[in-house]
Structure 1
Amino acid sequence: MKIAEFGVENWLNQWEKSAKYDISQSTISSMTISELLAMNGDQDSDLYDQLNQIKMNYGWIEGSPSFKQLVSDLYDHVQPDQVLQTNGATGANYLALYSLIESGDHVISEYPSYQQLYDIPRSLGAEVDLWHIHEADSWYPDIEELKKLVRPNTKMICLNNANNPTGTLLDKTFLQQVVEIAKSVGAYVLVDEVYLPLDQPENFTSIVDLYDRGIATNSLSKSYSFPGVRIGWTVANNTVTDIFRKYRDYTMICGGVWNDILAVYILQHRDQLLARNQKIVLHNLEIFKNWVADEPRVSVIFPQAVSTSCIKLDIPEPTESFCLRLLKETGVLLVPGERFDLPGHARLGYCTDEVTLKKGLSKLSEFLRQFD
């Protein structure tokens, strides 16, 4: 099995720890456990008692009953048995693709998007057609193009909603059109749903609430600010979930006892956490918008209160070399668009802490003046 280098992860593995002003990430300002407890007014929480007293055995293999119930509550028509705990959304995506895609299958993947969604099917021997997003259409793909790409033997359509790196959200009406096309050939629709639009999160529609053969993956890493917990999940119908169970035994045993306890606590306090993150996203988005308005060498299709964005740079230099010089000379980190096959662009994560964001944007502007 051969697989392409994971562009964005390879870049971040090389450079993120050397950045002074990291405005590349797509997580909403990550938290400490103490900050989580303080946010809930829970300084004397029994959380630490649980962590201190629990035995470090394998715990609940698929995730604890509390975890599975809390995740199922995030959807309209999902039961706890349809939820499987994974090692982040990357583990969830891998499990879904590894379980269902075989050599010779036909897969359609939104492109660019999270690289797993097209390069893992390729590595498994599938024929992958790329369903391109278009900057001129606010980074939406064209539904008519999907109709031309789909075949009678199409096995799966892969989406990233909201999209990484652009932050574009596919609305319910558009997803319903995708479902109708998938339904016509019996294809699965796999959607990585780690980015929640925090201006109106109640309006987000999961694929599993629209389509019986829909598969949703998610995690606590992005909208929930806890990538270090390394907990994600798959949600699918009972038949597909049973298929996942068999393959899951080959990819992971459990998420970890401590991690499950933390995940349950985070989900139990979901409303408080998302309220905190909504303030960060909306406040930082205004800072970002004002900066773009004043920066002549940057343009962007703004995301819908999603924690990742894709800026376009008006510079006479490849963005990868520019981003590397930017990091080494100023300490500011972006992800160059080449890592998403979007040359001339860069991923900018505006949902870091306010001080880092403002300083990073200021230094980026100063660096751009060399081209004036």
Structure 2
Amino acid sequence: MPPPPFAVEQWMNKYETTAKYNLAETCCAPLSLTALAALSETPSTPASLLDLKAPLTYGEIPGSLPLRTNLSRLYSSKGNAPLPPDNILITPGAIAANFTVFYALIGKGDHVVCHYPTYQQLYSVPASLGAEVSLWKSREDKGWLPDFEELKALVRDDTKLIVLNNPQNPTGAILPPPLLHQITALAASKNIPILSDEVYRPLFHSITPLSPSFPPSLLSLPYTNTITTGSLSKAYSLAGIRVGWLASRNPALIARCAEARDYTTIAVSQLDQQIAAFALSPAVIHGLLGRNIQLARTNLDLLERFVLKHEEFCSWTRPVAGTTAFIKFSREGRAVDSESFCRALQANTGVMFLPGTAFGAEWKGYVRVGFVQEEGVVREGLEEVRKFMRRLFDDVPLAA
């Protein structure tokens, strides 16, 4: 059966085209081809990104070798064997990569454990395929860390997949190395594959690789029965080219996903892959990520000042990575109706937030804020929210 309506996407589709200040967007501020070319360490023009003489065939079915080679370089960190390009499949965005994994590995009667809150696809699609899904809930009082003992209690003999989201949407939290080692050891003891949606990696704005809490990609850990997914949309500012991927150190998992992918994708646009390969090339990727991490740091400081100024009404755990923050708005000690708040805010100011209830009914009062937009958009948008808080916030109904 088809999954239920995708609440986040339904809200975005309804409201984002009319927003003056879209602070619900999860992608880093988008780039034009001209701006992307300008980030290169070698002289480049928009035209030089594309081979305009190449015939537009399907190309290499798993994905172009230049693109997969650049991706393999990103996953081949020090201390690990290089990840072969053959262990990567290119897809139309990370959403297609995730779907491919579920389609390949999950069926009726299976059991899946999913890190939560998270992108609805990660638990609704397995359920639509006939699986029973248990939610492994992050705890705000623990900085949005989930409890490992709770995961142990959720895993069963018929568990066929553990799903992680690291960094996490919508909280911006991370799963640190000690917890990742516990998770992979548990999965290895029962031979359970793990899917790690790492679409917000490597946008780490509030933690450095020198920190003991800095999370490696799951592909850097010893357990090989794992799959990671990613895309050019979030951390790399190129949502418009619709390029994502899935990768694994287990060739058997890649083979199963490739067989499933034949029914859904066949191949990804050759033009899109040429742009993606350019963006992830050694001459460009550092400038691109540097631009986006600086935007994230600057705008997160603006958002933190807003939260502190309105601490009577706002509470949060400051995000560590990614592009989103999860903020709770309350009044009189009670959560506000986040959907009414978001509608009134946009109608009166043009500022778009996303209600937390799009992630589940229990997230009353929460809103997701996407803060890695152009600095002016965030600064002006938060000023409009400040005015709303002063004049109209008292009129927002409280949650039932």
The two structures have a TM-score, normalised by structure 1, of: 0.96
Q: What is the aligned counterpart of 1:324 among 325, 337, 343?
A: 343
Note the alpha carbon deviations across 1:20-60, whole angstroms, 9 max, x for none: 01111111111111111122265643744734322222122
Q: C-alpha deviations, 1:326-369, integer Å up to 9, x for none?
A: 11121100110110112210000111111110111111122122
1:270-297 Cα shifts (integer Å, max 9, x gaps): 1111111121111111111122111232
Match of 1:365 in 2: 386
- Kept in 1, the 8 Å contact 2:87–2:254? The answer is yes
2:2, 2:70 → 1: CA distance?
37
Which residue of the partner structure matches residue 333 of structure 1? 352
State the Cα distance separating 1:230 from its structure 2 match.
Answer: 0.5
Check if 1:92 corresponds to 2:105.
no
1:292 counterpart residue number: 307
Determine the C-alpha separation between the residues in 2 that align with 1:233 and 1:368. Answer: 41
* Contact kept in structure 2, 1:151 and 1:185, CA below 8 Å: no
Q: Distance in 2 between matches of 1:67 and 1:178?
A: 30
Look up the match of 2:293. 278
Match of 1:308 among 303, 306, 324: 324
* Alignment of structure 1 residues 3-152 onto 2, 5 Å: 3-40=3-40, 44-45=44-45, 47-48=47-48, 50-76=50-76, 77=81, 78-152=83-157
CA distance in 2, matches of 1:68, 1:41: 21
2:174 touches 2:321 (CA, 8 Å); kept in 1?
no
Match of 2:397 in 1: none
Q: Give, as a single letter, the amino acid of the residue that structure 2 aligns with 1:282.
A: R
Q: How many pairs are equivalent?
A: 372
Q: Structure 1's 201 and 105: CA in aligned 2 closer, same or farther, altered over 3 A?
A: farther
Identify the residue that residue 398 of structure 2 maps to in structure 1: none
Q: Is 1:190 aligned to residue 209 of structure 2? A: no
Q: 2: CA distance between counterparts of 1:185 and 1:356?
A: 48
2:280 to 261, 267, 276: 267
Q: Which has the higher helix share?
A: 1
Structure 1 gap ranges (5+): none
> 1:339 & 1:263 partners in 2: Cα distance?
31
Change (3 A) 1:231 1:49: closer
Letter in 1 for 2:347: K
CA RMSD of aligned residues (A): 1.6
Give how far 1:153 is off: 2.0
Q: Is contact 1:285–1:305 with CA below 8 Å preserved after alignment?
A: no
Are the equivalent residues in 2 in contact too, given 1:6–1:115 (CA < 8 A)? yes
Which moved further from structure 2: 92-101 or 356-365?
356-365
2:29–2:374 contact (8 Å) kept in structure 1: yes
Q: Deviations over 1:252-275 (max 9, x none)?
A: 011101001001000011111111
Equivalents in 2 of 1:305, 1:35: separation in Å?
24
Distance of 1:99 and 1:265 partners within structure 2:
30
Q: In terms of mean alpha carbon deviation, does 2-11 or 89-98 score higher?
A: 2-11
Between the aligned partners of 1:228 and 1:371, the Cα distance in structure 2 is 35
Tell me which residue corresponds to 1:348.
Answer: 369
Cα pair distance change 1:49/1:125, threshold 3 Å: closer
Structure 1 position 146, deviation (Å): 0.4
Deviation, structure 1 residue 68: 1.0
Aligned to 2:267: 254
In the other structure, the counterpart of 1:209 is 220
